[in-house]
Structure 1
Amino acid sequence: MLPCVETRSVSPVFVGRADELAVLTDALSRAAGHEPQALLIGGEAGVGKTRLTEEFLCEATRRGAVVAVGGCVEIGAEGLPFAPFSTALRSLRRQLPEELAAAAAGQEGELARILPELGETPRVPHDEESTARLFELTARLLERIAAGRTVVLVLEDLHWADTSTRHLLAYLFRTLGSGSLVVVATYRADDIHRRHPLRPLLAELDRLRTVQRIELARFNRAEVRRQLAGILASQPDEDLVASVFERSDGNAFFVEELVASMKSGCRTGLTESLRDLLLVRVEVLPEAAQRVVRIVAEGGSTVEYPLLLAVSRLTEDELIEALRAAVGANILLATADGDGYRFRHSLVREAVSDDLLPGERARVNRRYAECLEADDTLVRAEERVIRLATYWYYAGEPAKALPAVLDASVAARRRHAYSEQLRLLERAMELWDSAPADVREGLRPVDYTEVYPPCGCDPATTPLVRLDLLAEATVAARFGGERERALKFTKLALRMLDDDPDPLRAAWFWTERSRLVSSLARGDGWEELAKAQELVRGLPPSHVHAEVLMRAAGWGMLHNPGPDNLAAAERAVEYARMVGAEEVELDARVTVGCLLTDAGSPDAGIAALHEVKDLAVDRGFTMIAGRAHINLTSQLESMGRSREAVDVAERGVELVGRARLLDTEAWIRGNLAESLYSLGRWDEAADVARRTLHVAQSAAPRGSASARLAYLALARGELTEAAHQLAAAHTHFGTHDTQPQHRIPLYRLTVGVAAGEGRIADVRAEFLDAVAYGFPLGHHRYAWPLLLAVATAEADAVGLPSADAGRAAALDAIRTAARGLATPFPVWAAHGEYVRAELRRAEGRDTVEDWTAVETAVRPLERPYLLARARHRLAEAVLAAGGDRDRAAGLVRHAHAAADRLGARRLREDLALLARRARLPLASTGSEPVEAEVDSDPVEALGLTSRERDVLRLVAAGCSNRQIAEKLFISPKTASVHVSNILAKLGVSARGEAAALAHRLRLFAPADQPTR
């Protein structure tokens, strides 16, 4: 060993970075108070990220924190899925075995996809929520471990991170909400070019206020002087400082390399090329050490000692001596667990690797691959398959590389690392033509395709073809969130099928394209499904045929209900049963159950949905069970069986919550919120809807949750909040796929907001749009509330100057629409009665008998808000007819109590005003009723002055501020002040809303308008 290479090149003194270290230690203190912390440390290669992290970890350990470090691994072009998380969790498992076991209890199989030591990963169906489910489980695992202690999780070299690691890190940074946890990630800033995959993540994280970003700058001259003093153990002369600072430009690693090169006697041979600077100390090592360093450079970020011994072909003594020289020269370091070696700095590794001759690189990679094939104990099992694929690929051996890459793609899929699976499948397609024909013919779909069912062939005996790889890549891209790429794969595959027709494969790709087009807002997916149906028409039953029929029936159920969909769904069930496609069969049976209910066989439909739900749970098909819960709760609600729907929804949330099917959970929660709203459990409904927004991964369930919150706000009289939530729902649902179950409720909400703001013209325009859109079969449940809202708006607008013209036509349109709607259940029959009574009220012809019929129909329904509204109108009718005041008082008292309990502010105020004007009691003490406080003037009861009363009368008549000023002989500015005061006292935000309130409360009844 050469004495000149045994030199200290790292300063024992921690130089600079005091501010950055303070930020990290402050985060540590905050985390100790159960406030999770997230930090990013960036800087160019060699600037000192690792040293700063080491100093921070020393401080964290001193404070009693549990520290776990994981580094991203550079293996070929695709990286090792979840590598830093696997390493860090493995470290936590060694330090806290019992705590980690308790935190993972019940989810060991799923979490084994990241930490294989937890057990075997389950062979469960894959879906688009698989990755999100795994991420949620990982986040909760970390929160549980950090519940009773401070945990510091460091992820190094994020610039090498695989896609799955980047996505998981982003998920953690967005969702961690509890526990004493600090997550720190480091990355090399100079590697992040414009197209680097880390760049979008950094931009996303910059927008999160919970993430702190630390950027390390180069050292200044004074800091370089201090670093040199630490390395040399003495004060350096100024010429040396000037030379090193100029040549290193303040990069801490370059300073170390320059000093080490000068001490090794290589001063004159050093060029200004960075590559030469990094290689100079390698070139003065003994030959055996140089050889080992070159081997390590091709092995990946870290190379295990047994593997290095096998690849180097040195004796153990020779290898140890070579390693001692490389470690002594600060080129290699032993890993923290002592199992292997890595470069002290990745820049040196890159320089050594780039310096290899092409033939030399291929030979080293071939040796790695041969050794791994000969002995599968040389590396961890979960790493072996991906490293073998990488080594054979860079060895330039397609015959070996193709099957190895395909094996690695299967391993990535089983870890739900779909992005890495996709990269490997693309590499397999790259190798396909280069691999010998006999190798390709020996590959079988059964070994490499799982999500995609090989079409029309026996996967155990038929050779794998390129289209199979395209199909699996399509699904991997979709599951990995790369839908644009998935769409391109379908386009390429269908172009290939034009030259070599295969109806089943083409139908499969068109079906995939349908769902991709829909999810990318390029259309509703029907054109693609129609082509798939045409391709399978007349073919024998098959898995693909059954799935096409199932998808088409499901599409029709949501977009164009009718008897044809039921026939298609039943045929899908039959075909799936013939070919043993149990999941497709159960999925189709869910559609059958819903369509039976819509077609007038509710008992059969509900029974079918219950049966599928139970079978799916028994078989472990959680996605199908989740869909059954979604549709069952929806159908029960449509029948008015809200209490039963709540019970089913709560069980469904628990089931899919355990499996972390987040979007499925969001849909069930959305239905739960709707049923809770119907039952008058509004606070619970609001909590569930807000939780839905947090859980949902896709836009549509978020739209449903926003709509639920808009309904609540509207009922409570919070028009601004209702408008805000309505706008959010429109944004979430988008315009590309206007399903009736989404679109009609949005019409109803838009009508409600417009009516509340006194915009009757907008109410009518929106309703005409809804009528033009249509109310398809089975969607009466959404249409009746819309008709009721429009009819109520017309009745409330009587007396508005802008409402008279066009009222007759509007009422005729409502009656026409009502005649075309079914009333198959009592809840909708009651709505029909209510709409009829409101239309008569709009014409001034409603009677006590009309409202008695409404109240009688609504009373048994467990719809407290609807009942309170009906009783309000009945009380008004009784009083107007000079009827039984005790009856009217009882109606008002019960309705007011219900409105108060619900928080329906607008209805409560209407009832209180009615009670004051009619001198009716709102409450009773003992046996004697207590009279409501009587106000001779209802306008004064609202706190308005005499002048404000006059102004409000003119506002209600539609006058502008200038017109008000002219009529009252005041200035327009004074009129404006009065209007502002009136809006504040009435608790409204616009003139139209104030006018609508005045007319609704009948504060200024015109001479030709009957008063109550």
Structure 2
Amino acid sequence: MEFAPVSPLFVGREAELSDLVHAAEVAEKGETQAVLVRGEAGVGKTRLVEELLRTLPPDRALAAVGGCIEVGGEGIPFAPFSAALRTLWHEQPDEVRAASAGQETLLARILPELDLAASVERPNDDVARLFELIARILERLASSRLVVLVIEDLHWADSSTRYLLGYLSRSRRLGRLLLVGTYRSDDIHRRHPLRPVLAEMDRLRSVRRIALRRFDRVEVTKQLTGLLGAPPEPNLLDEIFVRSDGNAFFVEELARAYRDHTAVGLDDLRDVLLERLEVLPETSQRIARVAAESGDVIGYPLLKAVVGLPEDELIEGLRAAVLAQILVSEPNGSEYRFRHSLVREAVSDSLLPGERALINRQYAEVMETDPSLARAGELAGRLAQHWYAADDDVKALRMSVGAADEARDRYAYADQLWLLERALQLWERVSEDVRADLPALRLPEGYPRRGHRPGHAGPGYLDLLATATVAARLGGDLDRAMRLTCDALEILAGKDEHHPSRAAWFWTRRAVLVQALNHGDGWKELQTAQALIDDLPSSVVHADVLAHVANWGAQHRPGRESRVAADRAVEYASQVGAEALELHARITRCWLGIETDVDGSCLAELYEVRQRAEKLGLVDIIGRVCLNLPSFLEGMGRSEEAIAEARHSIKTCRSLGLTDAEAWVHCNLSLSLFSVGRWPEAEAALDEAAAVAKSYKPRAAAVARRAYGLLVRGDVAEASDQLALARGLLGTEDLQPQFLVALAHFTMEIAARQGRIGEARAEFLRADAAGLTTGPIRYALPMLHVAAAIEADARQSTADTPSAEVLAAVRAAAARLTVVFPISRAFECLLRAELSRAEGADDPELWAAAVEAFEPMNRPYELAIALLGAGRALLANGSREEAADPLTRARQIATSLGAGLLLADVETLAQRVGAGTPSPTDVVASADRSDDAGADGLAAFGLTPRESEVLRLVARGYGNRRIAEVLYISQKTVSTHVSNILAKLGAASRTEATAIAHRRGLSLPE
């Protein structure tokens, strides 16, 4: 895996960058501006400023950067201004020389390389003249261009630098000057000498402040994707996000450690992290060492009880630790935490083994004496943690089992898993009597509860394994869940006295995990489970297996047989009193009936299931309803309702700790947002999905949807790359129709757009042979429409002809579909119209019907496709005046959406119409415009040679990332070039820019 030392993706900070750009724009108009960027060390201040500098056009702006340097307790005098002026001298020597004429010896004070003052006595009272000279130089340079002067690390600034910065920020006559200063907010204590300067600058209207926060999970996901060259694995993302606390520098260091297979150590950072602690008084160091073993947050009463210091010493020690930014006070004022998790980790790692055990024993003892010292609901878990670290096996085992249910009640599945794994680890270290007296444990739904030996009130080893398996799955640690299941099955296979019901339960869990991990489709495991219980009396395990068999059928073979299996599972679960399993089976039954739910009975049942599950606290079932309900509503064409339900479901899943279910809901939300034309929000939802998804399928679904978004926007090459990534994530072992239909659809459209018509047809025929054209209807109809559109385009091409085989397959597949909802009828109208075009009879009435069907649907993209078809059909039939309105509307919608491919189709149609097309519309009239600019080529539009190169690659379908790689420039620079190209060509999108270039006869350089 390749590793970039700094992420090539500029992550987040869009609002902050916009503020900087705005300040630059104001400064460019002649009003001096100053911006102060603050944030903790490593948060990304320098990267933000670099992005600003990359956006500045080199022909209109001049930038100079200088940094303060700490030497001893005070920075080097004028160090940042010396560095910045050195840059300005090299860039514009004549202007600097002219501005400093007669005062060269004074300038040489901060530019020693001028070597003009070696024999000149330097008076000590010329600081004011030096300030004025520097201001004059900047004023001259800023008279004809924007000058950006960046001073970094102001927390190390010497007094001369501070005074000069204040002087320049107060000067209003300097012209087009933007001053940018950065400083570490965690270094600016109350008595820091920079504080008065900042306070003074705050009173000036020309000074802005920008505060940088840490990255959230979505932003860390993007940063890691840039660093590693691929989306991070969920477990790696979890580790780095938690350990870095969203600090960009720490993310980079942790990613590098992962790359170098030293993810646990980070030895290079340890000295840096502990540097501030080691200069503190011993009392403060002791407080930090004790606090490091408490976890993320420690209450003051608990800290006081464990440290054992007199209160005045404790307070003074805490004060020093807080001022040094080792600890920070929580808003409630009674708790403290480490500013960075990595600092806490480094402090904890520095403890001696005996020291760590002693501190943890002290924690456990004081909390047992006074339980109020622990947060509500966390006492048992804290005691388990501390007794385990104190090497007390008996107490650690007892507390671990007792705390597992507590963690589950908080939906803290990772904590529950940790506790249960500690219990499994300690099992053999304690006596049989200790095991027999363990606290009771709530066992998973469907798990057979018999089998305990007399005198054993608590759980057995297999019970711990079963509960840990479910905790691992709900927490998203699927690999660990699989290992626990394998351990259980190995134990069961080796027993003299078998427990087939328990084995069946574990085989059923294994079936689910095999699917989630792309190791298979899970059917073999379900068959094994069925065989184990076939001859056993009716039980809850039978109901569990039947419910999973029905769900498997719904996923892989939706149809009548699967519906019968779902009905049977519902009935059986009811008979044995397994209400949770009955609700699971009812969800499956709703899933199988939703596409023909004319009377809304399936939808009503799903709401009923959710209500009952919420009353019973059945987390798994609530999660299934959350991810299915928005999807069902979207399939019915009720997108706005789906959006509302998805947002509610996201909150629910997040509160219950159901990360994978939440990822699915984000994907469903993205689809509905896309449907109603809110495409930027749809992209943001996919970012959220990528940040929380744990298993392969929701990750694949998010990437596939991203591929389609890129495709319709016009970035075909990047869409192809993303689709390949989605296929890799989905694997080849558990191919479900609901995924395959969409993948086939996207593959066909990408191949066709890249001119690979044969591959597009082959993909469709493969999908048809696999039965993917028969459903689900919500996916099948759009795919059939695309297949017909490809053939229709082939008829209008001079290089190809329609495929009779494909068209026959499309018609046959469409005839097999049962269309119920208005949205499906609208797609059916679109399909009929496209088929008529493919067969040479482009019927305006069919297109008008499609437009009429989509008009009330709030589906702008499909409406625009229908409008384009209507305009094209009218033009083909000679109704040129009538074609103007639908084509104009199609262009307006495509432009507002950013639908580059659709806009290109409109432009292509306008080009084909040719001169003489009447014009009440820009679209049809665009073909009538003369090609005066064609003779002068790209230069007539003012495109620079570099912009011409970028446009050539845009025309090839390259995305910003690939263009950056080809031209060896940053993606931000590419974005700037593309923006300039669009502005100069008067284009609304990349695809329109390409179409305009071709239509005007502009030759794109090779």
**Distance in 1 separating the partners of 2:752 and 2:771:** 21
Higher deviation after alignment, 520-529 or 722-731: 722-731
1:455 aligns with 2:452: no
Aligned to 1:464: 459
Superposed displacement of residue 696, structure 1: 3.8
Q: Return closer, same or farther for 1:668/1:921 CA change in 2, 3 Å cut-off.
A: farther
**What amino acid sits opposite 2:918 in the alignment?**
L
Aligned to 1:835: 831
For residue 935 of structure 1, give the secondary structure of its aligned residue in structure 2: coil
Q: Return closer, same or farther for 1:784/1:727 CA change in 2, 3 Å cut-off.
A: same
**Distance in 1 separating the partners of 2:912 and 2:335:** 83
Superposition RMSD in Å: 6.0
Instruction: Choose from 244, 263, 269 the match for 1:200.
Output: 263
**Distance in 2 separating the partners of 1:383 and 1:345:** 24
Aligned to 2:761: 764
**Distance in 2 separating the partners of 1:665 and 1:752:** 29
Q: Return closer, same or farther for 1:798/1:185 CA change in 2, 3 Å cut-off.
A: closer
Superposed displacement of residue 512, structure 1: 1.7
Superposed displacement of residue 672, structure 1: 2.4
Confirm or deny: 8 A CA contact 1:473 1:489 kept in the other structure: yes
Aligned to 1:808: 804
Q: Return closer, same or farther for 1:562/1:173 CA change in 2, 3 Å cut-off.
A: same
Instruction: Choose from 234, 240, 243 the match for 1:170.
Output: 240
Confirm or deny: 8 A CA contact 1:599 1:778 kept in the other structure: no
Trace 1:783-822 onto structure 2 (pairs within 5 A).
Answer: 783-798=780-795, 800=797, 803-804=800-801, 807-822=803-818
Higher deviation after alignment, 810-819 or 742-751: 810-819
Aligned to 2:749: 752
For residue 800 of structure 2, give the secondary structure of its aligned residue in structure 1: coil
**What amino acid sits opposite 2:865 in the alignment?**
R
Aligned to 1:871: 867
**What amino acid sits opposite 2:882 in the alignment?**
R
1:639 aligns with 2:636: yes
**Distance in 2 separating the partners of 1:903 and 1:537:** 58
Higher deviation after alignment, 783-792 or 465-474: 465-474
**What amino acid sits opposite 2:462 in the alignment?**
L
Aligned to 2:528: 531
**What amino acid sits opposite 1:867 in the alignment?**
L
**What amino acid sits opposite 1:874 in the alignment?**
A
Instruction: Choose from 670, 673, 678 the match for 1:673.
Output: 670
Aligned to 1:823: 819
Instruction: Choose from 703, 727, 746 the match for 1:706.
Output: 703
Aligned to 2:886: 891
For residue 515 of structure 2, give the secondary structure of its aligned residue in structure 1: helix
Q: Return closer, same or farther for 1:170/1:307 CA change in 2, 3 Å cut-off.
A: closer
1:903 aligns with 2:898: yes
For residue 735 of structure 1, give the secondary structure of its aligned residue in structure 2: coil
Confirm or deny: 8 A CA contact 1:670 1:689 kept in the other structure: yes
Superposed displacement of residue 779, structure 1: 0.9
Confirm or deny: 8 A CA contact 2:413 2:657 kept in the other structure: no
**What amino acid sits opposite 2:492 in the alignment?**
L
**Distance in 2 separating the partners of 1:781 and 1:742:** 12
Aligned to 2:555: 558
**Distance in 2 separating the partners of 1:367 and 1:860:** 68
Instruction: Choose from 919, 922, 928 the match for 1:921.
Output: 919
Confirm or deny: 8 A CA contact 1:139 1:172 kept in the other structure: no
Higher deviation after alignment, 726-735 or 55-64: 55-64
Q: Return closer, same or farther for 1:689/1:848 CA change in 2, 3 Å cut-off.
A: same
Q: TM-score, normalised by structure 2?
A: 0.57
Aligned to 2:485: 490
Trace 1:849-864 onto structure 2 (pairs within 5 A).
Answer: 849-864=845-860
Q: Give unmatched runs, 5+ long, in structure 2.
A: 1-34, 45-155, 157-183, 194-212, 221-233, 283-289, 311-325, 328-333, 337-345, 939-945, 960-989, 1002-1006
Q: Return closer, same or farther for 1:453/1:589 CA change in 2, 3 Å cut-off.
A: closer
1:740 aligns with 2:737: yes
**Distance in 2 separating the partners of 1:193 and 1:200:** 5
**What amino acid sits opposite 2:907 in the alignment?**
E
**Distance in 2 separating the partners of 1:746 and 1:559:** 16
**What amino acid sits opposite 1:486 in the alignment?**
A
Instruction: Choose from 594, 600, 603 the match for 1:603.
Output: 600
Superposed displacement of residue 606, structure 1: 1.6
Q: Give unmatched runs, 5+ long, in structure 1.
A: 1-30, 41-54, 66-135, 144-163, 207-211, 220-251, 257-295, 321-334, 355-360, 925-929, 948-976, 1005-1012
Confirm or deny: 8 A CA contact 1:943 1:985 kept in the other structure: no
Superposed displacement of residue 409, structure 1: 5.2
**Distance in 2 separating the partners of 1:919 and 1:346:** 77
Confirm or deny: 8 A CA contact 1:896 1:912 kept in the other structure: no
1:627 aligns with 2:624: yes
**Distance in 2 separating the partners of 1:193 and 1:846:** 58
Q: TM-score, normalised by structure 1?
A: 0.57
**Distance in 2 separating the partners of 1:415 and 1:543:** 27
**Distance in 2 separating the partners of 1:671 and 1:405:** 38
Deviations 1:768-807 (A, max 9, x none): 2212332276412212211211221122123656534x82
Superposed displacement of residue 501, structure 1: 2.1
Q: Return closer, same or farther for 1:887/1:615 CA change in 2, 3 Å cut-off.
A: farther
Deviations 1:945-987 (A, max 9, x none): 999xxxxxxxxxxxxxxxxxxxxxxxxxxxxx9x999957967
Superposed displacement of residue 213, structure 1: 3.8
Q: Return closer, same or farther for 1:371/1:32 CA change in 2, 3 Å cut-off.
A: same
Aligned to 1:932: 925
Superposed displacement of residue 711, structure 1: 2.7
**Distance in 1 separating the partners of 2:834 and 2:251:** 62
Superposed displacement of residue 510, structure 1: 0.9
**What amino acid sits opposite 1:796 in the alignment?**
D
Confirm or deny: 8 A CA contact 1:677 1:685 kept in the other structure: yes
Trace 1:647-658 onto structure 2 (pairs within 5 A).
Answer: 647-657=644-654
Aligned to 2:567: 570
Superposed displacement of residue 483, structure 1: 3.6
Aligned to 1:474: 469
1:881 aligns with 2:874: no
Confirm or deny: 8 A CA contact 2:478 2:513 kept in the other structure: yes
Q: Return closer, same or farther for 1:935/1:63 CA change in 2, 3 Å cut-off.
A: same
**Distance in 2 separating the partners of 1:469 and 1:736:** 30
Q: Return closer, same or farther for 1:350/1:522 CA change in 2, 3 Å cut-off.
A: same
Superposed displacement of residue 661, structure 1: 4.2
For residue 921 of structure 1, give the secondary structure of its aligned residue in structure 2: coil
**Distance in 1 separating the partners of 2:595 and 2:481:** 35
Tell me the matched-pair count: 704
Trace 1:940-951 onto structure 2 (pairs within 5 A).
Answer: 940=931, 943=934
**What amino acid sits opposite 1:448 in the alignment?**
L
Trace 1:194-233 onto structure 2 (pairs within 5 A).
Answer: 199-201=262-264, 213=269, 215=271
Q: Return closer, same or farther for 1:452/1:466 CA change in 2, 3 Å cut-off.
A: farther
Answer with 1 or 2: which has the greater Rg: 1
Deviations 1:341-385 (A, max 9, x none): xxx99999848789xxxxxx9xx9999999889956698585777
Superposed displacement of residue 525, structure 1: 2.0
Trace 1:215-614 onto structure 2 (pairs within 5 A).
Answer: 215=271, 350=352, 403-404=398-399, 406-407=401-402, 422=417, 425-426=420-421, 428-429=423-424, 432=427, 435-443=430-438, 447-451=440-444, 454-457=447-450, 464-479=459-474, 482-498=477-493, 499=495, 500-537=497-534, 539=536, 542-577=539-574, 581-598=578-595, 603-614=600-611
Q: Return closer, same or farther for 1:941/1:673 CA change in 2, 3 Å cut-off.
A: farther
